[in-house]
Structure 1
Amino acid sequence: MANYQLKSLGLAVSSASVLLLCSLSSTSFAMSPFNASYQFSYNGKNMGSATRVLTQNGNNWTYNFSAKAAAMASATETSRFTFSNGAISSNSFSRTSKILVHSNKLNISFNPSTKIISTQKDDKARSFPWKAGVLDELNAELQVREDLKAAGLKSAYFIADAKSVDTRQFVKLGNETIKTSYGTFETVKVLLKHDKADKNSIFWLAPKLDYLPVKMSHQDGKTSYGLLLTNYKN
């Protein structure tokens, strides 16, 4: 359960992120490097911190997410990709998570030339067909943000995990004002759909910060966690 929760943080964050351009007014930004910090809470208690950092070297981009919950657990995710004409092309994704003394790793390689996606989760290797427009759990957030600034959300997003390419959808729930220690923001509230009735992920995206998630919450049965923005540098 804890491994899944740390994995889901990346999607927030993953991850990631969504909505129609709706009635909020905002400036359209080109994708640019940034550094965002968050407070991490678990079951309503503040447990640690998290960061999301986007860097650029020419047309090679790296997006990194890291989180640490006291001395109990930590997770790091890294996405590498290129970006052209509003579309992300995935190159690789990696995740390392640790719960007390237990750890696991996932690596994904995207190979459009051979039409294959190769994955390695701990000691299990897999491969399955590549799909045009396929994303990873981390850069999907960035693609959604770019889509919102352009023509709007796609009807579906294709996201690779250790076993396959999954289709995911997001639903707009409305607008909401969110107060953080970094400031107060008008946001668009979006739900990431799950198959289970007692499981949900909600994101609050701020147009004034280029649709950065300023808040995120995830509920899975009796377990919950959340992120709340504490600092942002562009």
Structure 2
Amino acid sequence: MTKNLSKALGITTATSAVILCASLSSHAFAMAPFQASYQFSYNNKNLGSATRTLSQQGNNWTYKFAAKAGGIASATETSQFNFANNKITSQKFTRSSKILIHNNTMNINFNPSNKTISTQKDDQKRSFAWQAGVLDELNAELQVREDLKNGNTLQTRYFIADAKAVDERRFVKQGTENVKTSYGTFSTIKVVLLHDKPERNTIFWLAPKLDYLPVKVTHNDGKSSYGLLLTGYSGKTN
């Protein structure tokens, strides 16, 4: 259970690209800082809380996800990146999680100058070829959101780096759905992240009214499931 709970606390997601003219993208559809809070659940039991925070300093952006499950477990993920012309350029990704006395860490450094991506998961270090447009597990969600905002179209493929390699992923729109939260009821776009294994699925409900923020996220992995449900938001609205 502790292994699955660690994955649950590290829940992240996904999003990238029809480019509008520069004046339009820098105005109504520009990426904007925000903070959101969530109820975290594991196997349909409310265990704790989580936050998503996007901050900006010039063209440098930081996206942070943090979750706690009582005094049992905690996890933090941070993505640093640049953003221009509706495209994210990854710089660095870090993850740390703690279950009781067990700690796990992962770091990814994107190095376009020497065309490599360097990773370290706990004590295991790797390096593999860099390629343009590669995202991390956290900022992929932001890229999907920007793609939906700027044309309502998702890319056919998203390339996401993990500790071992760059994997090709697909995000698929599955219509619209109303989602009720303690913060309000929202009309959402339902987006599914396709996994290699049929028993796994991750679903995001993105609310256009809240700048395509995920107001609900669920992940099923065989016998375990976990999710997030919005409890508060401060940021851009449409």
Q: Normalising to structure 1: TM-score of the pair? A: 0.91
Q: 2:67, 2:210 → 1: CA distance?
A: 21
Which residue number in structure 2 is paired with residue 23 of structure 1?
none
Cα distance change, pair 60–3 in 1 and its aligned pair in 2 (3 A): farther
Task: Give the letter for the 2:57 counterpart.
Answer: N
Task: Give the letter for the 1:48 counterpart.
Answer: G
Which residue number in structure 2 is paired with residue 147 of structure 1?
147
> Does residue 159 of structure 2 align to residue 161 of structure 1?
no
Deviation at 1:17, TM superposition (A): 5.3
> Does residue 78 of structure 2 align to residue 78 of structure 1?
yes
Alpha-carbon RMSD across the aligned residues, in angstroms, is: 2.0
Structure 1, unaligned stretches of length 5 or more? 21-26
| Worse-matched range after superposition: 122-131 or 167-176 | 167-176
Q: Deviations over 1:123-175 (max 9, x none)?
A: 11100000110000011111111111123211010000000000000122221
What SS does structure 1 have at the residue aligned with 2:90? strand
Task: Give the letter for the 2:139 counterpart.
Answer: N
Q: 2:123, 2:178 → 1: CA distance?
A: 45
Verify the 8 A CA contact 1:39 1:230 in the aligned structure 2. yes
Q: How many percent identity over aligned positions?
A: 67
Which residue number in structure 1 is paired with residue 177 of structure 2?
176
Q: Deviations over 1:79-106 (max 9, x none)?
A: 0011111111111000001111111100
Q: 2:14, 2:137 → 1: CA distance?
A: 7
Cα distance change, pair 225–17 in 1 and its aligned pair in 2 (3 A): farther
Q: Deviations over 1:10-53 (max 9, x none)?
A: 55xx32359x9xxxxxx953101100000001111110000000
Task: Give the letter for the 2:197 counterpart.
Answer: K
Verify the 8 A CA contact 1:41 1:227 in the aligned structure 2. yes
What SS does structure 2 have at the residue aligned with 1:208? helix
| Worse-matched range after superposition: 224-233 or 149-158 | 149-158
Which residue number in structure 2 is paired with residue 225 of structure 1?
226
What SS does structure 1 have at the residue aligned with 2:13? coil
Deviation at 1:8, TM superposition (A): 5.6
Structure 2, unaligned stretches of length 5 or more? 19-26
Task: Give the letter for the 2:165 counterpart.
Answer: S
Alignment of 1:20-169 (within 5 A): 28-151=28-151, 152-169=153-170
Q: 1:137, 1:232 → 2: CA distance?
A: 22
How many residues align structurally? 226
Which residue number in structure 2 is paired with residue 15 of structure 1?
13
Q: 2:131, 2:35 → 1: CA distance?
A: 30
Q: Normalising to structure 2: TM-score of the pair? A: 0.90
Verify the 8 A CA contact 1:157 1:169 in the aligned structure 2. yes
